[in-house]
Structure 1
Amino acid sequence: MMQRLFTLMLALVPLFALGAAPAPQPDWLTTVVATPEGGYRQGNPNAAVKLVEYGSRTCPTCYRFAEEGMQPLRDQYIATGKVSYEYRDFLVHGAPDLALALLNQCVGTQRFFPVLDAIYANQPQFEERLIALSKTPERVQAWQKLPPGQMATRFAEALGMIAFVKTHGLAEAKARQCLADPKAIARIAKTQADGVNRYKVDGTPSFFVNGRRTRAFSWPYLEPELRAAGA
């Protein structure tokens, strides 16, 4: 009996020697929060490098950054916890940008970035419809005189935005409710105003690294800024 007990204790020694398993690393790509500034932040909240983009979903240069820069940014910097990334709205093209911003925020915090990526990927199709719409300037001018919620809804209908977000799980009734939400409209307007008045944003994309505005507008120019800041 004693011999069996002694043998069992010897078998357990390696297990005790190994100690407790290390805690799993956080999944920073799924760590997403809405910020007090009206943006959405992905990644480690305590990252040494904090990146903020003021972007427009209809901006061609923002589209190129989304296509070329977001994957390496996420893979090499956000996923590792070195960089947090916050997206804030800046409506350079007015009503179409407002409509997309309202619909994107409507999907909820955890779905914000996947839908943002999908909106950018679909930008060429939205642009085709916008070009077609521009051929009826009287209708566009009439919509632009409507209250913001009604104006955003008209553009969302004409540009296929409501149908688009339905394919990403947002019911049409909910989409229409969000397009007319005065609180959401006011929040986006405040983010825009703060961008102009506090941070002197005058175009998109505008990138800030640890509060300092950079001259970068694409990934090859932005990545050295992140590395210089300690990423």
Structure 2
Amino acid sequence: MKRMIAIAAVAAFGAGGAYLFMSQNSTVQTPGTVQAASIVEVAQSDIAEMVMGAEDAPVTIVEYASFTCPHCATFHNGTFEQIKKNYVDTGKVRFVYREVYFDRFGLWASMVARCGGETRFFGIADMLYDQQRDWLGTGDPVQIADALRTIGRTAGMTSVQVNECMEDTAKAEALFGWYEANAQRDNIRATPSFVINGENYSNMDYAQFARVLDEKLAN
């Protein structure tokens, strides 16, 4: 399982490709060592929570995941489908997805997913996980930026819409600050990680998830 790092950087896309804003004195820190002054102060209401399921469901799962994390892709392409079918779609579980940014590519992918708004987010997230190896490719930033643009257009957005979202540096900074605040508050150090009715859990297979969810539902 990948260890999570808080990178002191904010990523955005320029018209000619991808670039990274970074302080010359920035350092790599774990969530436990990030100083309060380094966190961008972002009101929780400024960033939309991506949620599926009944608002009044008795159990809430908050998943912390990165679009560049292979374990997250495996979870979403397998275990999550069963959780959605048996718990979310039946009104038992409210599912909240919160992005984690290991790297600039994960932030870029998040910006593209959020570009489609709340109604398209999970559909684009599915595409990002299904095609993770393809759009990450060789790791070349320009190629990754182009691949993410293609995913955005495939999801029904115009090139202008996708580029406007990609070039929104203020949104990138806000998302990064929101991520850091979430990670510190919930003590998230790896992906995928889960907070189920306020309790932290590491990655599990479906059988383990079902046991935990059934216990929560019984209480």
TM-based fold match above 0.5: yes
* Compared CA separation, residues 219 and 91, structure 1 to 2 (3 A): farther
Which protein has the bigger strand share?
A: 2
Which structure has greater helix proportion? 1
2:111 paired with 1:102 = yes
Q: How does 1:53-92 map to 2 (within 5 A)?
A: 53-92=63-102
TM-score using structure 2 length: 0.73
Aligned in 2, Cα 1:68/1:38: closer, same or farther, shift over 3 Å? Answer: same
In the alignment, structure 1 residue 47 sits paired with structure 2 residue 57: yes
Which residue of structure 1 lines up, in the alignment, with residue 172 of structure 2?
185
SS at match of 1:85: strand
**Structure 1 gap ranges (5+):** 1-34, 134-139, 141-153
Q: Distance in 1 between matches of 2:178 and 2:193?
A: 14
Alpha-carbon contact 2:53-2:94 (below 8 Å) kept: yes
- Which aligned runs of 4 or more in structure 1 are off by greater than 4 angstroms? none
Cα RMSD, aligned residues only: 1.9
Q: Indicate the residue corresponding to 2:212 in structure 1.
A: 225
Alignment CA distance shift 1:155-1:204 (3 Å): farther
The answer to which structure, 1 or 2, has the higher relative contact order (CA under 8 A, 6+ apart) is 2
1:207 deviates by 0.5
Against the structure 1 CA distance between its residues 128 and 70, is the aligned structure 2 distance closer, same or farther, given a 3 Å change threshold?
Answer: same
Report how far residue 58 of structure 1 moved: 0.9
Q: What is the deviation of 1:101? A: 0.3
Ranges in structure 2 where 5+ consecutive residues have no aligned partner:
1-43
Q: How many angstroms does 1:185 deviate by?
A: 1.2
The total of aligned residue pairs comes to 174
Say if 1:102 and 1:178, in contact at 8 Å, map to a contact too.
yes
Distance 1:173 1:70, change over 3 A: same
1:157 aligns with 2:139: no
Q: Which residue is 2:189 aligned to?
A: 202
- Structure of higher CA gyration radius: 1
Matches within 5 A, 1:143-154: 154=142
8 Å contact kept, 1:55–1:204 = yes
Q: Provide the secondary structure at the position in 2 that maps to 1:109.
A: helix
CA contact (8 A) 1:90 1:195 kept: no
- Could you give the per-residue CA deviations for residues 46-105 of structure 1, whole angstroms, max 9, x where no partner exists? 11000000110110000000111222111111111100000001011x111011000000
Question: In 2, are the aligned partners of 1:57 and 1:120 still within 8 Å (CA)?
Answer: yes
For residues 49 and 197 of structure 1, what CA distance do their matches in structure 2 show?
22
